[in-house]
Amino acid sequence: MSEPGLDDNDESSTSSPPPRRPRGRLGRLGRLMLDTEPLRVAPFRRLWTSTVVTSVGAQFAAVAVPKQIFDITGSSGWVGLTGLFGLVPLLVFGLWGGAIADSVDRRKLMIVTNLGIATTALLLWAAAAVNTDSVWTVLLLYALQQSFFAVNMPARTASVARLVSTAQLPAAQALTATVAQLGAVVGPLLAGILLPFVGLSTLYLVDALSLLVALAAVWRLPAMPPSASAPRRAGLRSVIDGVRYMRVHTVLVAVLVLDVIAMVFGLPRALFPEMAERTFGDPPGGGAALGLLYAALPLGAFLFGLFSGWVTRIRRQGAGLVIAGLCWGLAVIGFGLADSLWLAVLFLALGGAADLVGTIYRGAMLQTVATDDMRGRTQGVFLVVVAGGPRLADVLHGTAGASVGTAAATAGGGVLVVVLTIVGALLLPAVWRYRPPVDDQDAAGAGAAGSDAAPSDAAQVGAAQVGAAESESARAEPAGPEPESTGLVPGGAAAVDTDTDVGAVDTADTGVGAGDTADAPVGALDTVLAVDAVDPEIRTTGHESDVPAETERNGQRGGDATVR
């Protein structure tokens, strides 16, 4: 019987010539398009496919829950409680879920939590099918589902660096973010169209079925046991160690600070209903303007994502993150000053594009800077920030809009984003100078075909499975013709089945190699700073930490597209 994640007829051990990169205009156009290279890695492809399916199903549930509560109570106040019942589990279980993700096999954790999410979706379907009139039943089931989701997400996002190489992380983030934004646009639209014909219960059933498809994909992932230095228990001490770890890593602190600035001061969605009616002429009962305002952000992100190939090949990820934040702030200013609907939609779409760039670099940096034994907890902290930031933005913009008007509140928030982003980059210069490490195997351009773990994690995963001595000897083996697959790669990780036309780290033919990325510009400012003389922390490889051992341990702006 084959091990999960391994196919009996796995062709990954056979070598084949690398794909020839198109030249001329066709080649240049291909480099602009969404980089699909990570999809050549079969385990990541499975994980990504599950995201495609669940991104739509989750939006069905996001429409069904508030609609069902309103149908039961007839009160928007009760509908507002869904935000509280969804937020509290994310805040509590996000941190704990990150600690769990670092202490157990992440594949097994994803299987258990996916089962939990699917079960609650089926229970919501049953409640709707029997026309329950208990609002508390719906709210409690929704809170339980969010609890499973909060534990699932840190494990899911922390697993990506185990499946692809460091050089492929930006492209992997772009692929995931793009389909999430597509789900944020298509999901509510389809749910609204289908609801009058199929009813609420069917929306829940579609969500449950999508989760079962995701479960099947996760089941076929390779084992992802905790690293040797990971804690064996996910207690309060483990959570505290994770927060301390982030605090002493300036790049991680800067990434979160910049994201909080962009979310809290630059997300005026609480003002959309008033602006749609009083600025852009919607009738009091609602109209097209409101729908366009809500759709513009994820639609802009999705459309830009289709042409994000060049973004994923830029090595100045820190500078790119800062510039994306500035562009987001400028877009919000333009939206606040816009006096026509189409101009407002255009600025929001541009903001969505800037946000996608920030999402790509932010996700890649969080995955790369954090060591594998800490990735779950860093992702858990980030989930808490993503969950809480937009809610705080709603309160801030709603209060400011009532005091100074929607235009001033929105444009003023954009100005604060620009100013505070610049201040943050000056106070935390490590983020501007940050470049990802050059993977040893990426640089060599060779590695074990069909590698399961990302090359940046091979040593850590190997230490957890066969010990540091064996991983050292595995890395010392000379490159040569690929032997028949044994299910192990250098470092001891279980092999992964990849397509036969690519190796695990075939960066020379993906356009993501060091030669391509080192000189890729982020703008005119790219040449201003010398990055060879940066602090050691900025050169963090993801293999070692500079903190004592006792402290070691993913369509709308602000991550709403990722929150079920």
Q: Angle, nearest 10°, between helix axes 42-73 and 106-129?
A: 30
CA distance 165 to 532: 23
The reported pLDDT for the residue numbered 290 is 83
For 283-338, write each residue's pLDDT tens digit: 876 678 888 888 899 999 999 999 888 888 888 999 999 999 999 999 999 999 99
| Radius of gyration, alpha carbons of the chain | 23
Q: Is 488 helix (H, G, I), strand (E, B) or coil?
A: strand
User: pLDDT tens digits for 346-359?
Assistant: 999 999 999 999 99
Which residue carries 């992702």 as its tokens? 379
- Distances in Å between the alpha carbon of 182 and those of 175, 299, 305, 346? 11, 7, 10, 18
Distance CA 45, CA 38 (A): 7
Domains and CATH numbers, the chain: 39-223 (1.20.1250.20), 242-435+531-559 (1.20.1250.20)
**Tokens 């019942």 -> residue:** 85
In 3D space, the residue among 250, 246, 175 whose CA is nearest the CA of residue 431 turns out to be: 250
Q: Is the distance from CB of 487 to CB of 451 less than 8 angstroms? A: no
List, for the chain, all residue ranges whose pLDDT scores fall below the cut of 70. 1-30, 76, 229-231, 285-286, 439-564
Per-residue pLDDT at 166: 85
Quote the pTM value: 0.68
505 with 37: CB under 8 angstroms? no
Cβ pair 271, 407 in contact under 8 A? no
Q: Which residues of 92-114 are buried (b: 16+ CB within 10 A; e: fewer)?
A: ebbbbbbbbbbbbebbbbbbebb
- pLDDT 10s digits, 395-447: 889 889 989 999 999 999 999 999 999 999 999 999 999 998 875 444 433 33
pLDDT of residue 458: 40
